Amino acid sequence: MRCKREENAANCNCSYPCDKKGLCCECVSYHRARNELPACYFLDDVERTYDRSLRKFMETKGI
């Protein structure tokens, strides 16, 4: 299977300078190991805080 890194990166809202940008498999794995979610789960203004915690996600969803 061909890696779609360029296509993924074009649709990625992550503003953090990171070598995993577009490598969604590594991105998800990295954040999952920290009980976090990737940038794309957050609206842009929340994404820019770099708080990727499950707590922050639930807070933004009113859960």
Per DSSP, the three-state class of 30 is helix
Under rule CB under 6 A, residue 42 binds ligand SF4: no
20 scored as a contact of ligand SF4 (CB under 6 A): yes
For residues 8 and 24, is the Cβ–Cβ distance under 8 A? yes
Residue selected from 3, 16, 34, 53 as contacting ligand SF4 according to rule CB under 6 A? 16
Confirm or reject binding of residue 27 to ligand SF4 (CB under 6 A). Answer: yes
Counting Cα atoms < 13 Å in the Cβ hemisphere of 38 gives 19
For ligand SF4, give the closer residue by CB, 26 or 59. 26
